[in-house]
A and B are shown apart, each in its own frame.
Chain A
Amino acid sequence: MSDFDALLKRSFAEAHEPADDGFSIQVSHAVARNERVARIRNAAQSGAWAVAAAAILFGLYGLAMNIAPDVLTSLGFGISRAHDVISGPGANAMQTLSAGMTQILLVVGAIAGGLVAYRATQE
């Protein structure tokens, strides 16, 4: 290391450092402000998620109220037919069971769609 490099290093080491003229207070205030904003943002986000979940549940409830009677009827009918098939000879059991499945699949699809929508609101 040359003399000049040593001098330079010493000059850096001995160089004046600014006194705390309110800088640290300023930073503390900025940090506190950012934390407050973050808390408000998190609360707003939680509220939005709750509203989204409520909307999805309400939608599912409406859907269920519309199709539930049909589903229950078909389900009962399907079970009855399945029972007949099981107890009676020569019919296609799978075809019969599938008769009541359409509505069930619709409900499952609606729930899955609701979950996807909920996930999308989270992101």
Chain B
Amino acid sequence: MANRGLINLAQAGEAALIVAAQARDQAAFGELVKRRQGWARALLRRMCSNAAEADDLAQEAFIKAWDRLRDLETPAAFPGWFRRIAVTTFLMAKRRQKGVFDEIDEASPIASEESTPEAAAGAKIDLERALARLSDAERLCVTLNHGEGLSHAEIVEMTGLPLGTVKSHVLRGTEKLRRMLEAA
């Protein structure tokens, strides 16, 4: 049912949906999930490189968001606030799986394919496939840095990884992606 008294879900802005969801309106939260699910699942799929696992984590993140929605101070902060929940959910899952995460020495080596200098300005890369070849930590840091536009300091704050480690993961991950593109 789209028409619900004061708030018409289909036409309501995201801020109105968030305010209604904060008042425990499940339908408003459902509409919010419908609008944000693509972004959230894509973010987690890039971090996980496993679509089914990513969708499970996205669902877990949305449920956590519902539980904690009252903590959100302003609706405008929702994307960053939810991104943090998603990243924390991902990190907790990796820790449960005992994934090696912060050891730069154990990161997978840079691919050694013969590179052909192209990388033309208009070229596109198969992002999902390329990201899947990075280590978990590299994928996380590259996604947050290049995909979400976070600075190194923001990634440090969000993940708890040391600054040097974050920089290394971003650098190595980006370099691997560049080589993959050149070899393609």
Contacts and interface: CB of A to CB of B under 8 A. Distances in A.
A5 B181 CA distance: 12
Nearest to B31: A24
A contacts with B: majority SS: helix
A24 B33 contact: yes
B147 interface: yes
B4 to A, nearest CB: 14
A100 B34 CA distance: 72
B127 A15 contact: yes
Contact of B59 (A10, A15, A26): A26
Contacts of A27: 30, 33, 37, 59, 62-63
Interface residues of B, number: 35
Interface majority SS on B: helix, strand, loop or mixed? helix
Interface of B: 26, 29-30, 33-34, 37-39, 41-42, 45-46, 51, 55, 58-59, 62-63, 66-67, 119, 121, 123-125, 127-128, 143, 146-147, 149, 174, 177-178, 181
8 closest Cβ pairs, A-B complex? A17-B38, A12-B147, A28-B30, A24-B34, A24-B33, A17-B42, A27-B62, A8-B146
Interface of A: 3-12, 14-20, 23-28, 30-32, 34-35
Given A17-B38, A20-B37, 16 more contacts: A3-B119, A4-B181, A8-B125, A8-B174, A8-B177, A9-B146, A15-B147, A17-B42, A18-B38, A18-B55, A25-B30, A30-B59, A31-B26, A31-B30, A32-B26, A34-B66
11 contacts: A3-B121, A4-B119, A5-B146, A9-B146, A9-B147, A10-B124, A12-B147, A15-B46, A15-B147, A17-B41, A28-B29
